[in-house]
Amino acid sequence: MCIENIYTPKEFGQLIGRTTNTLQKWDRKGLPKAHRSPTNRRYYTHDQYLKYRGLKAAKQGLTMVYARVSSAAQKPDLRNQVNALEAYCKQHSIAVDEWMFDIGSRLNYKRKHFNRLMEMVALGQVRRLIIAHRDRLVCFGFEYFEAFCERHHTQILVINGDSLSPEQDLVQDLIAIVTIFSARLHGLRSYKKVLKDAAQQKEEERMNRSHVIRLNPTPEQEVYFRKACGVARHAYNWALDHWKQARSEGKRVKMRELKAEYNRVKHEQFPWCADVTKCAPEQEFRHLGQAFDNYWRMKKDGTQPKLKHPRKDGEEAGFPHFKNKKRDRLSFYLNNDKFSVEGNWIRIPKLGKVNMTEQLRFSGKTLSAVVSERAGWWFVSIAVEVEHQAPTHQGDAVGIDLGIKTLVTLSDGEVFENQKHYRQNLGRIKGLSKGLARKKEGSQNWWKNKKKLAKAHYRVANQRSDKLHKMTTRIALTYALIGLEDLNAKGMLANSCLAQAVNDASFFEVKRQLLYKAEQHGGYVQLVSRWYPSSKTCSSCGYVKPELLLSERVFICEDCGYVSDRDYNASLNIRNEASRLRTSVPVVASSAR
């Protein structure tokens, strides 16, 4: 007596991936019909499971047709196989019960329909198997599979069954082996991610650093610099003008097309371009392309700036504008193969050596250089790719509270005062601005006064930059986890009473410097939400005050009586919140105290 496996509805549902409710609906429709026990309990048999999986047909002795190609690119060949097999079956009046197709290598024995076909043969369900060629089923060992099918009463019909001599058969096998294993060299694609990750890890070990050095050009060299800046500005304006013309004609042109057209006509129409390096105009096409990318991105994201007055050219906010000699900063670009640095000298094409006030601090692969003018002085910014090792940071966590009265208050009690550089120099700036307004624009005295005003602003910027760099470098080297409020500095400028003080404090610049310096030295900056009530919350008991005026500089907790400086209390709360958000400090670099 043979005892057949039986399953409860729950067990049967788990086997076929269905719920008991679905099985009840199928039972009422008779697909499949559940058996009933003497106590009227539903159950299913193993035979029903095999029929559901297609491993046992209701009618034995099926005629199957199998076709295969090696890749998705060979789908046209698969259709040709199917057409040939259909024609063969019609010609010989063969009724096909099921067609099976696979896309995979003939050395791949994990093909889905191939394995299902072999299971059906083993269960005795297949009477006849039709294939186009022997290698459509397997590459090697066809005789073994043929004998396997014969033992299970399955006949294999090969419609293209040309017999070869032993020598020819051996040659065909060798060709197949060479072809397949040569194709499998492309299996390196499976290591693409590994190689990409390794390259990325190697890339992370390198860092691009820029060193800005002041130049000491002679009058003749300064003339060359101004010519190069003029050529770069002309190329930018020429490309923008031709782009607008193409737009008015309903055409769209690419930057590389404009660049090719410019290079074709510049020797005839703009012969003075040959007086300076070719890098000056060529880079401006990339700058214009980047300007258009920024414009389309802002338009897509809805982040275009708001205009107080419509633009004279009628364009939208953020659209690239023509460069102006008086308004825009003078600069031009140099490729890494067009200049060289030797000690305190930089060699520029068609100019020669130009003196630098100091030597290049970084050693590594030179990437590019940008020569620019500011407040009457000329500078060169040299980008260098340097090796970056990542030792371990052993610092603690700290919270930073930014303010106007005190620029930075740390949670360990250290304070960095707000030196208010712009306010200290405001008297001189006002005097120079008043003198500039009283002079005739374009006169010699007007240019002299404008240069003095530019140098006054430049002095303020340098004082502020020096203070911020020293402060942020010390914080990044000392602390591994830095908690910082994500302040909306731009929104704070809407308050006309605080706008000048907020601009002078440079909250955004503090955040920017801390972000890249902490990463460079192995630390981490955890930004705390601007809506987090750091000033209203008691760092001792967690009580949150409903109201706290800006004039209240001492925090007094109404719940526990804790008394502390307002900024120090806020820095403690920021540190605690940053530690909560960042459960672990990354161990990627070292620091020095």
Beta bridge partners of 235: none
Beta bridge partners of 130: 65, 157
Q: Identify whether 485 is a catalytic site residue.
A: yes
To the nearest 10 degrees (0 to 180), the angle between helices 426-437 and 444-478 is 150
Beta bridge partners of 370: 333, 381
* Residue 357: strand, helix, or coil: coil
Q: Which of 102, 284, 401, 577 is catalytic?
A: 401
Lookup result for tokens 């030597």: 359
Q: Could you tell me the two tokens for 296? A: 């389309």
Backbone dihedral angles phi then psi of residue 423, each to the nearest 5 degrees: -65, -35
* Residue 160: strand, helix, or coil: coil
Q: Could you tell me the two tokens for 414? A: 């250290």
Q: What is the length of the chain?
A: 593
Q: Which of 284, 485, 504, 577 is catalytic?
A: 485
Q: Could you tell me the two tokens for 153? A: 């009463």
Beta bridge partners of 353: 347
Nearby residues of 384 by Cβ (< 8 Å), 6 or more positions away: 208, 209, 210, 211, 360, 362, 363, 364, 365, 366, 367
Query: Of the candidates 25, 7, 27, which has an alpha carbon nearest to the alpha carbon of residue 15?
Result: 7
To the nearest 10 degrees (0 to 180), the angle between helices 219-248 and 279-301 is 50
> Beta 365-374 vs 352-356: how paired, if at all?
unpaired
Q: Identify whether 567 is a catalytic site residue.
A: yes
> What b-and-e string marks burial along 75-84, b requiring 16 or more CB atoms within 10 Å of the CB?
eeebeebeee
> Beta 155-158 vs 365-374: how paired, if at all?
unpaired
Lookup result for tokens 């707000």: 418
CA atoms of 568 and 535, how far apart (whole Å): 9
Indicate the burial class of 407 (C-beta count within 10 angstroms; 0-12, 13-18, 19 or more): buried
Work out the number of other CB atoms within 10 angstroms of the CB of residue 133: 16
Q: How many helices (H) and strands (E) does the chain have?
A: 19, 21
Contact yes or no for 506/422 (Cβ under 8 A): no
CA atoms of 572 and 538, how far apart (whole Å): 9
Work out the number of other CB atoms within 10 angstroms of the CB of residue 292: 16
Q: Which of 102, 284, 504, 567 is catalytic?
A: 567
Contact yes or no for 391/586 (Cβ under 8 A): no
Query: Of the candidates 508, 560, 511, 566, which has an alpha carbon nearest to the alpha carbon of residue 536?
Result: 566
Question: What residues are annotated to the active site?
Answer: 401, 485, 567
